[in-house]
Amino acid sequence: MKWRCALIQRRLPDYPDGDLNPFWKRQVASHLEVCPDCRQEAEELAEVMSLYQAEPLPDPGPAFWQDFQQELHLKLAQVNQTPAPSPWRRASWAATPRTR
Ligand SMILES: [Zn+2]
């Protein structure tokens, strides 16, 4: 029953300590008892969470985010410009009066 697994796994990040209502906690708990796949998923998630909690990532600081954003802008610009129009062609297109 794949759809059930999907429903359960979507709630795993909030299980067992998170902001999950009692109904879903019970659903998840009973599903984990019968489904090895979801149990493994839950274990891996718990491992990642405990790693993160043991060693929280330091805030990289404003310089990082500035770089990050610049890189993102560059990437977006590159994506938008494929294929790259040459500047004069764009200018001549813009100068052509629209008849429609
Ligand atoms: Zn499952």
Is residue 9 a part of any domain in this protein? yes
What separation in Å is there between the alpha carbon of 29 and the centre of ligand 1?
Answer: 11
Domain that holds residue 8: 3-54
- Has this prediction a pTM greater than 0.75? no
Residue 26: pLDDT over 90: yes
Is residue 12 a part of any domain in this protein? yes
- Give the percent of the chain with pLDDT over 70: 79
CB count in 10 Å sphere of residue 20: 17
Residues 6+ apart with CB under 8 A from 69: none
Is residue 74 a part of any domain in this protein? no
What separation in Å is there between the alpha carbon of 69 and the centre of ligand 1?
Answer: 38
**pLDDT band per the 50, 70, 90 thresholds, residue 93:** low
- Domain count across the chain: 1
